[in-house]
Amino acid sequence: DAGVIQSPRHEVTEMGQEVTLRCKPISGHNSLFWYRQTMMRGLELLIYFNNNVPIDDSGMPEDRFSAKMPNASFSTLKIQPSEPRDSAVYFCASSSIQGSTEAFFGQGTRLTVV
Amino acid sequence: AQKVTQAQTEISVVEKEDVTLDCVYETRDTTYYLFWYKQPPSGELVFLIRRNSFDEQNEISGRYSWNFQKSTSSFNFTITASQVVDSAVYFCALSGFTGGGNKLTFGTGTQLKVEL
């Protein structure tokens, strides 16, 4: 199994531009999580899906952030427009819905907004 | 609401010392899971252990051991005879089922520095 695959690994963009982060969860996992990691705030849960349905998006910081999971094998996190304070490492993770397995994390996307 | 508290922000030890990382959690769920993850300087998050709320047996894996105590809502992690390669940020996490979903919440992490 290739694990959780995130793309791109690094993204540098200018303020105001749209940014789309992508995630392919592990096959068979039906929970998917998006986290953001910064020095100031640590690991923050932004949103998570069960069976492709968003369950809790209370961690999404602003309307500029949106996430979708059109099918069981793909999810996107979009920031539009991006701002310098969005600079962070964004992790995607997947697990079984019962929580009885650990969450497997992707390598993360390091986003820099200049 | 779920909450995980790792009060120790940073710990520095000399190689071969034993070190314990503390984790205290809050949840209203009767069924939940606790986890420890390691994040080395390379940045990836590495799973270390999972415990469910019905299993309070302590666990040992090589130099690592975990002490789960429901009475104090704690899930502490001990590294015996620490090594430089143990230097990393360690996260404690909690997965519960509040609201029908399996929300996975992390603590703020403990930075462990092991020096020669």
- Asked if A103 and B103 come within 8 Å (Cβ–Cβ), the reply is no
Among residues of chain A, what percentage have pLDDT more than 90? 78
pLDDT higher than threshold 60 for residue A103 = yes
> Residues near B64 by Cβ (< 8 Å), separated by ≥ 6?
B48, B49, B77, B78, B79, B80
As to burial, measured by CB atoms within 10 angstroms (0-12 exposed, 13-18 middle, 19+ buried), residue A104 is middle
**Given this model, what pLDDT does residue A3 score?**
92
For residue A107, which residues of chain B lie inside 8 Å, CB to CB? 43-44
For residue B105, which residues of chain A lie inside 8 Å, CB to CB? 45
Rounded mean pLDDT, A84-103? 85
Buried b (16+ CB within 10 A) or exposed e, A80-91: eebeeebbbbbb
Give A5-16 pLDDT, tens digit per residue: 999 999 999 999
Rounded mean pLDDT, B3-7? 95
**Which residue of chain B has the CA closest to A100?**
B33
**Given this model, what pLDDT does residue A60 score?**
94
List B62's β-bridge partners, or say none: none
- Asked if B101 and A105 come within 8 Å (Cβ–Cβ), the reply is no
Mean pLDDT of chain A, nearest integer = 92
Give B16-59 pLDDT, tens digit per residue: 999 999 999 999 888 888 999 999 999 999 999 988 888 888 88
What are the backbone angles phi and psi of residue B71, rounded to the nearest 5°? -60, -30
How far apart are alpha carbons B29 and A77 in whole angstroms?
29
pLDDT band, residue A35 (cuts 50/70/90): very high
A33, A50, A99 member nearest B33 (Cβ)? A99
Q: Which of B51, B103, B105 to mutate to test the interface with A (most CBs of A within 10 A)?
A: B103
Distances (CA, A) of B56 to A12, B33, B39, B71, B73: 46, 11, 25, 10, 11
